[in-house]
């Protein structure tokens, strides 16, 4: 779930659980518990992802629905074309 930074602290509720050094912290929110912080990595493999988008949601939604729209064009197999 993505939450606008302007709203982040508005959804925080009372309740914080610190699990210890090098472990995640649990923060209660009006949407449920948020888990944040380090997680011990036994495998030595680290995956990191970043997505940045500068277009407004109003511009992106029409494109999303256009991509999700079911095509009405019928594709024929070579046998059907005969």
Cα 76 versus chain centre, distance: 38
* 28 closest CA partner among 51, 44, 12: 12
Give, in order, the Cα–Cα distances in Å from 24 to each of 8, 19, 31, 53, 67.
Answer: 18, 6, 18, 27, 38
pLDDT digits 0-9 by tens, 41-82: 777 777 777 776 677 777 777 877 777 777 777 777 778 777
What pLDDT score does 19 carry?
94
**pLDDT given for residue 78 in this prediction:** 79
Extract the runs of DSSP E, i.e. beta strands, from the chain.
12-18, 25-29, 32-36
Q: How far is CA 8 from the centre of its chain?
A: 15
**Domain locations in the chain?**
1-39
**Distance from C-alpha of 18 to C-alpha of 73, rounded to nearest angstrom:** 56
Looking at residue 53, its pLDDT comes to 62
Q: How confident is the model at residue 1 (pLDDT cuts 50, 70, 90)?
A: low
């Amino acid at each position: 779930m993505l939450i606008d930074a302007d709203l982040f602290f508005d959804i925080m509720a009372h309740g914080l659980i610190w699990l210890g050094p090098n472990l995640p912290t649990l923060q209660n929110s009006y949407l449920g518990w948020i888990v944040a912080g380090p997680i011990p990595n036994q495998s030595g493999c680290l995956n990191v992802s970043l997505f940045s988008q500068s277009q407004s949601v109003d511009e992106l939604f029409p494109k999303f629905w256009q991509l999700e729209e079911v095509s009405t064009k019928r594709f024929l197999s070579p046998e059907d074309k005969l």
